[in-house]
Amino acid sequence: MDNNYSTIALEKKKSAQMAVFRQVYIWMSLALFITGITALIVANNNSLIYSLMSNQLLFWVLIIGEVVMVAVLAARIHKLSLATATVMFIAYSIINGVTMSLLFLLYTSESIASTFFITAGTFGAISAYGYFTKKDLSSLGSILIMALIGILIASLVNIFLESSTLYWIISYVGVAIFVGLTAYDTQKIKESIMNSDVNETAYKIALMGALELYLDFINLFIYLLRIFGDRD
């Protein structure tokens, strides 16, 4: 009898943990929707897009604001209330939508749409792999982070070099990195949630997981757009 009760309790806990894990994709999808709608609104508003293009200070304030918000969420997620962290996540997705509106000036709407679906398909398949694989991907994480730092430095250098060859190398390597990070982050988030009790902390882990996968998706989309996008 005790064994039956223990089995039922474990099954209920696992079911509750899976419900928390599903929140990762719900929050991520919501953030992507908000970012996309915001980008469309800004791109189709001449005064807003002009302000963004003509005022470099405003653009860099938005970029720095995004970095600060991610850093604060990562460092203080367990000290912030779930409501505050959620509001910050939504605010970040709005600001990111504003900055990403500039993509509509560089690429055709058709290529942005087609690349989004390519990204969604790729992301879905790789995230599923990260969830179901029995292979430990933890060692992959540190390698990918170092590679990411490498392409960030290369991207900064290429601002001055303006090398088309380096541009394409960075683009393809960027795709490979964020494909790997998608699998790694999915497995890490799953394990973190499945090893925690179902409480506010678990939901905070899910929210941070949503942010991580959101960033993986956005960066994968941008690098794929550099490869497949048709410029206006």
Give the alpha-carbon dihedral of 87, 89, 90, 95, to 10 degrees.
120
Domain count across the chain? 1
In this prediction, residue 168 carries a pLDDT of 96
What span, in angstroms and rounded, lies between the C-alpha atoms of 47 and 54? 10
pLDDT digits (tens, 9 = 90+) for 58-70: 999 999 999 999 9
At residue 9 the predicted structure's pLDDT band, cuts being 50, 70 and 90, is: low
At residue 228 the predicted structure's pLDDT band, cuts being 50, 70 and 90, is: very high
In this prediction, residue 14 carries a pLDDT of 83
In this prediction, residue 84 carries a pLDDT of 95
Mean pLDDT score across all residues of the chain: 92
pTM of structure: 0.93
In this prediction, residue 28 carries a pLDDT of 97
pLDDT digits (tens, 9 = 90+) for 66-97: 999 999 999 999 899 999 999 999 999 999 99
Is residue 3 pLDDT above 70, yes or no? no
Is residue 1 pLDDT above 90, yes or no? no
Domain span at 125: 2-228
| CB contact set of 77 (below 8 Å; sequence gap of 6+) | 85, 204, 207, 208
**12-21, 33-42, 108-117: the lowest-pLDDT one:** 12-21
Is 15 or 28 the better-scoring residue by pLDDT? 28
At residue 199 the predicted structure's pLDDT band, cuts being 50, 70 and 90, is: confident
Closest CA to 189 of 217, 211, 221: 211
pLDDT digits (tens, 9 = 90+) for 98-139: 999 999 999 999 999 999 999 999 999 999 999 999 999 998
Contact 152, 99 (CB under 8 A): no
Task: Provide the residue type at 165 as one letter.
Answer: T
